Structure 1
Amino acid sequence: MARHSGGRGWYGKVVGAALGVTMLAVGASVWTAQADGVGGSSPGATASAPPSSAAVKPVDVTIAHASDAGARGVNITIDDGPDPVWTPQVLDLLREYDVKATFCVTGAQAQAYPDLVKEVVAAGHRLCDHTVSHDTAMDKKSEAYQSKEILDAERMIIKASGGVRPMYYRAPGGAFTPYSRKLAASHGMRPLGWNVDTKDFERPGADAIVATVERELSNGPTLLFHDAGGERSQTVKALRRVLPWLKEKGYSFGFPVR
């Protein structure tokens, strides 16, 4: 899993040792077993007292990289929304091809567009906590800051959804820390990485996005797209081609698991 850098479309490598977990899909054994950043503040968010590292319960913090649809399963994940222009178009495509996806929403966007969060849930998709403000440098910040970003977003998403809890936590740009993974997991949110980064946020063209999926699908089942953080017409066009192509190749659509 490559890492998003400062939210402007450049990537660096995740340092696996710092995370204490392998974030890249390693060969066929994992596969078969197996942004522009959204800014914004968090008006109305309630500050939370961060639990100390010692207070966090021991939980499974390995990053989800398999699919519950089995060896030929893929996980569609959609980041940074919801967005009033692009999220409805993505939802329409997913409905058209009978695909369920995981939406990694930010607290700021969820608070701004609660009806869209409810639409995501009503359509049978899952929610993922993508922090309040999508700070791709949060792994360099204090535990108190990480806690506020994650837990305030969790509360904002639950409120926006009408009581549905996010099942996953995806660090902005892959900026996981041991603390953030433990904290999220202690709240029932599985740390969620990705195997195929479509780089759609760079707007390379629909052809390039589709080619990336076709070329890198052997890396593992979790595909990363975006429905916010910028103009996403290329993502919509690419999904219109990728979803039926995956079905034609015999893949099924599922949700991330260990």
Structure 2
Amino acid sequence: MRLRTRALALLLVLAAVGTATPAAAGPTASGPTGDIVYATRGAGRVLALTFDDGPSPDWTPQVLDLLRQRRVRATFCLLGSQAQAHPDLVRRIVADGHAVCNHTWKHDYLADWTPEAVRADLSATNAAIRAAAGNPDLPIRYFRAPYAGWGASPQVAAGLGMSALAWTMDPQDWDGSGADALIGRLRAQAYPTAVALSHDGGGWRRPTLDAYTVMIPEWQGGGWGFDLPAVTGGPYPPACTAPAWRAHDTHVGGDRVSRGGRVYQANWWTTLEDPRTAWWVWSDLGAC
């Protein structure tokens, strides 16, 4: 009788421990770590396209047109001064479901700045981007230091909820080279999970636009896909920028919406079809 009582007591203790364990465990989300990102979120034959120094009224709309035509999402590293000057372009970048990156207020070299000065600049830039977008809660997951002059900025950016974003492909579209030279560099530098640095602002970007007009279809024809850059820390909930899909809203071909943590592009006019199930109407462009 005594042995049976002890066995029963032991079973009750084990049951209590088993019941309590799930509540006590459970990982909690953490913020960005201050490490620098050099790769895409996913593995495999994918690239992340990033465009710096905009938005530019001369070039950003043409880059956006190309990305929409090819059903590609990219990351736009925006200057606060340019976002403030061209809010319509910020709204278009966001409406197309692209990721948004803080590239400082006016492209200063931050390596020798104090953390306090960096924080003031990044905070002002985030505020300008969100004001231009008309969304005080717009997710800004990335920060990129001009000239890769990082200094204290990765840790400061992490404190503001952003991962420091570098690059591993540089076609040097800033050196005045023509499209043919940029195409050759992009072909030579591409490898799975690479992050490509290019520009939609800050100068004459016709060669950049012409190079990607050739390379994006070439990559797609060769089995390449496109992803967003990785983030540090986490895990994070989806960070969609495109407007949420709503039944009865009218959409035309090329419109983009977010639904269930993913971005979709309409192939033609639609009002009711749910992007998650109507694959003949909506193209799935991937997770936010």
Pair 1:110 & 2:66 matched: no
Q: Match for 1:80 among 53, 70, 75?
A: 53
Look up the match of 2:208: 235
Three-state SS of the structure 2 residue aligned to 1:236 is: helix
How far the C-alpha of 1:59 sits from its partner, in A, is 4.5
Distance 1:206 1:158 in 2: 33
Equivalences for residues 72-151 of structure 1 within 5 A? 72-135=45-108, 137-151=109-123
Gapped regions of structure 1 (runs ≥ 5): 1-56
How far the C-alpha of 1:162 sits from its partner, in A, is 1.6
Greater fraction of residues in helix = 1
Look up the match of 1:154: 126
8 Å contact from structure 1 (residues 61, 190) kept in 2: yes
Distance 1:59 1:227 in 2: 27
Give me the TM-score of the superposition, normalised by structure 2.
Answer: 0.67
Tell me which structure has the larger Cα radius of gyration: 2
Percent identity reads 37
How far the C-alpha of 1:165 sits from its partner, in A, is 2.9
Three-state SS of the structure 1 residue aligned to 2:51 is: strand
Distance 2:48 2:177 in 1: 22
How far the C-alpha of 1:197 sits from its partner, in A, is 0.7
8 Å contact from structure 1 (residues 108, 132) kept in 2: yes
Q: Match for 1:197 among 170, 173, 190?
A: 170
8 Å contact from structure 2 (residues 43, 192) kept in 1: no
RMSD: 1.6
Q: Match for 2:179 among 191, 197, 206?
A: 206
8 Å contact from structure 1 (residues 128, 168) kept in 2: yes
How far the C-alpha of 1:71 sits from its partner, in A, is 1.5
Give me the TM-score of the superposition, normalised by structure 1.
Answer: 0.74
**Structure 1 range deviating more: 195-204 or 77-86:** 195-204
8 Å contact from structure 2 (residues 199, 208) kept in 1: yes
Aligned length: 200
Sort the Cα spacing of 1:150 and 1:251 in 2 relative to 1 into closer, same or farther, 3 A.
same
Amino acid at match of 1:74: L
Amino acid at match of 2:147: G
Gapped regions of structure 2 (runs ≥ 5): 1-29, 232-288
